[in-house]
Amino acid sequence: MNQREFFNAVIADTQNAEIAEFAVNALQKMDERNAKRSASPSKTQIENAPLIARIAEILTSEPMLASDIASTLGISVNKASALAKKVEGVVVTDVKVKGKGVRKAYSIA
């Protein structure tokens, strides 16, 4: 159970108006805090923006493995895979790689 579920349960089940009012105020503060957080990008999002733009430039209509993207940009395969999924218009497909099995490949539609 998270805080939101807890406060909603308190509001629904309590007979005490003061406790219900406290829960409503706590939910409002939580919503304000969450809105403030989502309004500004995090430090990591700011750092990754140029990489995502570079991946968008690299990708073509031909499927490209995350390992190829990673070696081109000099980043880890996991990071390349995660960032490639954030590129607008990206298509993820399964590609058979000889000796390695099925891998995810990224391309632009």
pLDDT computed for residue 1 by the predictor: 85
- pTM greater than the 0.85 cutoff: no
Using CB atoms within 10 Å of the CB of residue 106, give its burial: 0 to 12 exposed, 13 to 18 middle, 19+ buried: buried
> Domain limits of the chain?
3-39, 43-108
Q: What is the mean pLDDT of residues 31-50?
A: 89
Confidence band, pLDDT 50/70/90 cuts, at residue 29: very high
| CATH 1.10.10.10 assigned to 43-108 | yes
Place of tokens 């190829």: 68
pLDDT computed for residue 100 by the predictor: 87
